[in-house]
Amino acid sequence: MSRLGKKGIEIPAKTTVTVNGDVVTVKGPLGELSRSFKKNIIIEVAGNKVELKPVKDTLENKALWGTYSSHITNMVEGVNKGYTNRLVVEGIGFKADITPVEIVFKVGFSHPVKVSIPKNLKVTSDKGIIVINGIDKELVTSFASSLKAIKKPEPYKGKGIRFEGEVIRRKEGKKTA
C-alpha cells in the first residue's frame, strides 16, 4: 500500500484543483498545469484535499497510486512556488549566451551548440551560472539534464556543464618520473 497515496494532498489557499474525467487541472498564482492519468486510480477533490484510491487491489495500481500522488503534489507545488534548477558552465573559454529563443553554448567544440528554450521555461545566465525556472518540475529537470548532457564534466580538470552543488570525483593526472 502507498504511504503517499493514503495521506492525501493538501490544497493551499489561492489554488484550485479540478478533475474532469481522467484529466487533473491545477490552477495557482504562477499558472496552470494539466495532466491526464489512467483510470486505475480514482482521484477526488474533497474540501481542501485531493484523495486518491485504487480501483482494484493489483500490483500495478499500488505502484501507480504513489506515483500519481507525487505527480499531483508536484503540480500543486509548481503552481504555488515554482521550480528552479541551476547549472554551472566551468572551463576556460566555456560560456553560454542566452537569447529569448535559444541558448548558444561554446564548450570546446569546433562549432557553437544551439539549444532552443521551451516556451514554459524562463532561462537566465550570470557569470557561468545558468538558472532555469518554471512551474512544471518534469520539464525543468529534463531540460536541465539535456543541457548537462551537451558537455558532461570531465574527471581531470572538472571542465564541462554540471549542476550547482554537484561534486565531480577527480582523478589524478599523469605522473612525471
Structural domain ending residue among the three candidates 17, 45, 80: 80
| Same domain, residue pair 93 and 154 | yes
Q: What is the pLDDT of residue 137?
A: 94
Q: What is the pLDDT of residue 177?
A: 63
| Same domain, residue pair 61 and 110 | no
Structural domain ending residue among the three candidates 20, 45, 80: 80
Instruction: Tell me the residue range of the domain where 91 lies.
Output: 83-163
Instruction: State the DSSP code for 39.
Output: T
Nearest to 155, CA basis, from 166, 165, 144, 141:
166
In a domain, 177, yes or no: no
58 contacts 52 by C-beta, under 8 angstroms:
no
| Same domain, residue pair 59 and 91 | no
| Same domain, residue pair 11 and 46 | yes
In a domain, 154, yes or no: yes
Q: Kindly give the interhelix angle for 59-80 and 137-148, rounded to the nearest 10 degrees.
A: 90
The residue assigned the cell 504511504 is 3
Q: What is the pLDDT of residue 15?
A: 92
149 contacts 93 by C-beta, under 8 angstroms:
no
Query: d(Cα 130, Cα 120) in Å, to the nearest integer?
Result: 16
Query: d(Cα 23, Cα 175) in Å, to the nearest integer?
Result: 61
Within 8 A by CB and 6+ apart from 20, the residues are: none
Nearest to 9, CA basis, from 49, 48, 52:
49
The model carries a pTM of 0.88
Q: What is the pLDDT of residue 1?
A: 55
In a domain, 173, yes or no: no
Residue 57's CATH number: 3.90.930.12
| Same domain, residue pair 72 and 95 | no
Total domains in the chain come to: 2
Q: What is the pLDDT of residue 2?
A: 62
Q: What is the mean pLDDT of each run of 10 residues along the chain (177 residues)?
A: 77 91 92 91 89 89 89 93 93 90 91 92 91 94 94 89 88 79
| Same domain, residue pair 96 and 55 | no
